[in-house]
Amino acid sequence: MKGKTAKLSLNFKLKLKLLRFKFSVYGIGTYLNFIKKILDYLAFLIIVITFSLLLIEGVTRLFAQPASYDFIERRIIEQDLPVKKAKDEYRIFLFGESTMHGHIYYPKSTIDKWLKMYLENVLGPQDAKRVRVYNFGRLGATSEFIKQAFDETLYYKPDLVVIYSAHNDFTILEERPSYLERRPLIERLDVGFKLWIKKSTFIGLFRKVSVAVKIKKKKKKEEAEAAAPDSWYIEEKLKKYDPKKDLFYYESQEAKRLEKRWQGNIERMIASAWKKKVPIVFLTALSKYKEFEPFESAHRPGLAGAQLQQWTMIRDQAEAEFKNKNYESAAKLYESSLSLDPDYALVYFRLGECLEKLQQYPKAKEYYVQANEKDRFPLRSPQAVYAAYARLEERHLPGVYFIDTQKAFENFSPFQIVDSSLVIDTVHPSIKGQSLMALEIAKLLYEENLVASKDRWQWAKLERFEDLEKKLDLTDEFMFNVYLEGARYVGSYLDKAVEDLERAVKIKPDSVLARSQLAWVYWKKGEKEAALTIYQELYKTHLDLAGAFQKKYPEIDAEIKKYIYNGPSGGATLPDGPS
């Protein structure tokens, strides 16, 4: 064994000496030359591949339309938007946030559907047939997405573009500069790479096929979910904001950066429209100020000690008066508290409520607006958006039109304060609100001769809202899901969630999902008796569906069981089921 080891060691030493000899004879230049040849070959290979890809990309662009976001590609397929345009066809493209998308009413009630119905009314079926309306509105879309989607669909030759961009740039935490700058480098590189890939027409051909496959899968998934058995509601945990980092101040540098970015995108859309000679319409911002109090109120800097105690005492007195419906005295106390702290958003909101009750409507509206400006986690458009649109309108830009959405809604609201009949939460229009926005677009088309000459419009044939609404096929099943989704969306505004869920339960009294969600909201509100009453009924009839809920919330499960045994219906027994 030792002999073999010694022999191997000798062989290794001989090979090493031989290598050293070759290295000394031929020199380092030979090896460097070899490496250089490899590098030259790799460089040549990269050049050939790059040239080939560029050639393929160039040829592809001659015959194929460029690709856009997957969402836009999906909407192109879903709406059957052809590249080739008919000779007399008039194309209207809609872009925007969830307001334009349709929000919880999508896909049955949307602004584009209302616009189509109105045009069929007043232009007649034959003229209206040549007007094609395509909606590219998206949930959570910011002005950056809207601008790019607009640019990337100009290939399809729209004759008119309608934009709604108002609040998402300011209200979505993930879009703030401070948040974007905190993202990991790898995440930023990933986003940049995807945007770069998106620009390739050649790769876009494969992406289009992928999108078509995804559409089919999505449809099957929705069908499976619709056919799924009843289930127990368990709240999905949403990402919480950090009050130390994420509070928003309209007077801050970050707010100015957001405003500059948003306005820059609006102006770039106008420039793109001018370049292609496409008229562009902006629906300005829409907000409902009443009913939804500010999301986050914060004291002015430096308020502490005796001053804070005094403010708290006055505020508590005002709250007591408000609760007792003594609105005049409550208003005076709230005004007094503002002298100590002019930053606390909820006080402005309460003042608005008091003044509305006292029928001082213009002043009430002023305080409601101020409440939003002071909200440190705003859910509505800032006044800066309204002001920016007003400045643009004053410039009388050719081919650029503005519809004052807020004014249109106020004109159809009691005392010009928008309420839930037109806006269901803070910003999203109701079905009636959608119809109003569509009607405002139709009126602008008429006034500016954008679709047909005025003599061809027959406004006398315009049908009533109620009659047109019936054509949307808003079935009980659809509205049931609308109310469930609405309750989830309003989040911490629990009173509004209760309203939606009670409507859902009215449609489906036996729904475990709706009833368990209603019980959960009551529980969060602190109304345990109401929650336990519903949970008790569900435990008796559908305990078999409660397993995941019991596992996640053992404390609530224990209270429900205690209530069943010791509550108003004491002596009850539970059916067999998971515990």
The reply to whether CATH 1.10.220.10 applies to domain 476-566 is no
| Angle at alpha carbon of residue 325, lines to 321 and 327, rounded to 5° | 70
Confirm if 538 and 231 have CB atoms less than 8 A apart.
Answer: no
Q: What are phi and psi of 555, to 5 degrees?
A: -65, -40
* pLDDT, position 251: 83
Helix (H, G, I), strand (E, B) or coil at 578: coil
Compute the distance between CA of residue 399 and CA of residue 276 in angstroms, rounded to an integer.
11
Matching residue, tokens 């904001």: 241
| Angle at alpha carbon of residue 286, lines to 281 and 291, rounded to 5° | 170
Strands 90-96 and 160-164: parallel
What are the structure tokens assigned to 337, written together? 């508290």
What DSSP string describes 503-539? HHHHH-TT-HHHHHHHHHHHHHHT-HHHHHHHHHHHH
- pLDDT, tens digit, for every residue of 486-532? 999 888 899 999 999 999 999 999 999 999 999 999 999 999 999 99
Compute the distance between CA of residue 178 and CA of residue 297 in angstroms, rounded to an integer.
20
Compute the distance between CA of residue 296 and CA of residue 248 in angstroms, rounded to an integer.
9
- pLDDT, tens digit, for every residue of 403-426? 999 999 999 999 999 999 999 999
Residue 202 carries which side chain, given as an amino acid letter?
F
In 247-343 the beta strands, taken as DSSP E runs, fall at 280-283
Compute the distance between CA of residue 561 and CA of residue 554 in angstroms, rounded to an integer.
11
Compute the distance between CA of residue 404 and CA of residue 62 in angstroms, rounded to an integer.
41
* pLDDT, position 213: 86
Residue 54 carries which side chain, given as an amino acid letter?
L
DSSP letter, residue 423 = B
Instruction: Pinpoint the alpha helices (H) of 424-527.
Output: 431-447, 465-469, 476-489, 494-507, 512-525
Read off the pTM. Answer: 0.86
Confirm if 314 and 336 have CB atoms less than 8 A apart.
Answer: yes
Regions of the chain with pLDDT less than 70:
1-31, 57, 60-66, 178-183, 188, 191-198, 238-241, 243-244, 567-579
Compute the distance between CA of residue 236 and CA of residue 489 in angstroms, rounded to an integer.
12
Confirm if 151 and 229 have CB atoms less than 8 A apart.
Answer: no
Q: Where along the chain do its domains lie?
A: 2-63, 70-288+381-472, 305-374, 476-566
The closest alpha carbon to 285, from 270, 266, 269, belongs to: 266
CA 323 and chain centroid, separation = 35
* pLDDT, position 443: 98
Do 70-288+381-472 and 476-566 come out as alike in CATH topology? Answer: no
Compute the distance between CA of residue 68 and CA of residue 416 in angstroms, rounded to an integer.
41
Confirm if 517 and 233 have CB atoms less than 8 A apart.
Answer: yes
* pLDDT, position 270: 98
Distance (Å) of CA 449 to CA 90, 131, 158, 279: 13, 14, 16, 12
DSSP letter, residue 375 = -
Length of the chain equals 579
CATH architecture of 305-374: Alpha Horseshoe (1.25)
**Helices (H) then strands (E): counts for the chain:** 25, 5
List beta partners, residue 400.
Answer: 280
Matching residue, tokens 């930023």: 188
* Sequence-ordered list of residues with C-beta below 8 angstroms from that of 148, at least 6 positions apart, any chain: 68, 69
Compute the distance between CA of residue 285 and CA of residue 383 in angstroms, rounded to an integer.
9
* pLDDT, position 50: 80
* pLDDT, position 11: 63
Query: Among the CATH numbers 3.30.930.10, 3.40.50.880, 3.90.550.50, 3.40.50.1110, which is that of 70-288+381-472?
Result: 3.40.50.1110
The closest alpha carbon to 353, from 374, 341, 370, belongs to: 370
